[in-house]
Structure 1
């Protein structure tokens, strides 16, 4: 059995300049923990695989394609491959979520 606390997980450099920890990374799937401080956001980008976001704490805005919605704790958002998306924290508290990519991403993410 392997147990990983996100605080102890490998920190992942990223073009967004935000806190990302790699929780799980196998040939089949990837799970990243992302923390956005107030005012932080991901740059608009697209990934070559399907993903979903699961909100652990706080509230944020998710933008996928032309749609934008407020999301809060315990919500899951489906994000299809190659659709531009980003998440933003416009609140005054921390916004933490998981990003799960299945199958595992082998091509690079494309910043827009």
Structure 2
């Protein structure tokens, strides 16, 4: 059995300048833990694979395409491949979520 705690993982360098930790990475799927402090946000970007966000803590704004919606604990938000998206924390508390990419993004799909 393999167990992973986000608290034990090192932050992964990223273009957003926020806390990102890789929790799971196989040939089939990838899971990242992201923490946005008050006022932080991801830069608008798209991925070549489908993803979904599972909200662990706090409230934030999820923007996918031209739509924005408030997201809170225990919600799942689908994010289709190749659609620009970003998550923002406009609250006074921490906003934590998982990003699950299925199938896993590879070097080849990253170039698409």
TM, length-normalised to structure 1: 0.95
Cα distance, 1:21–1:109 mapped onto 2, change above 3 Å = farther
Please identify which structure carries the higher helix content. Answer: 2
What's 1:92 paired with?
Answer: 92
Counterpart of 1:66?
Answer: 66
Report the Cα offset of residue 9 of structure 1: 1.9
CA contact 1:24–1:31 (8 Å) conserved in 2? yes
2:82 paired with 1:43: no
Residue 105 of structure 1: how far off its partner (Å): 0.3
Q: Which residue in 1 is equivalent to 2:53?
A: 53
**1:41-90 C-alpha deviation (Å, 9 max, x unpaired):** 00000000000000000000000000000000000000000000000000
* Distance across 2 between alignment mates of 1:10 and 1:102: 23
Q: Which residue of 2 aligns with 1:2?
A: 2
- Structure 2's unaligned 5+ residue stretches are none
Using the size of structure 2 for normalisation, the TM-score is: 0.95
What is the distance in 2 between the residues matched to 1:81 and 1:108?
A: 11
Please list every run of 5 or more consecutive structure 1 residues that lacks an aligned counterpart in the other structure.
none
**Going by fraction, where is strand more abundant, 1 or 2?**
1
Q: Quick check: 1:10–1:23 contact (8 Å CA) kept in 2?
A: no
Residue 109 of structure 1: CA displacement? Answer: 8.0
CA RMSD after TM alignment: 1.3
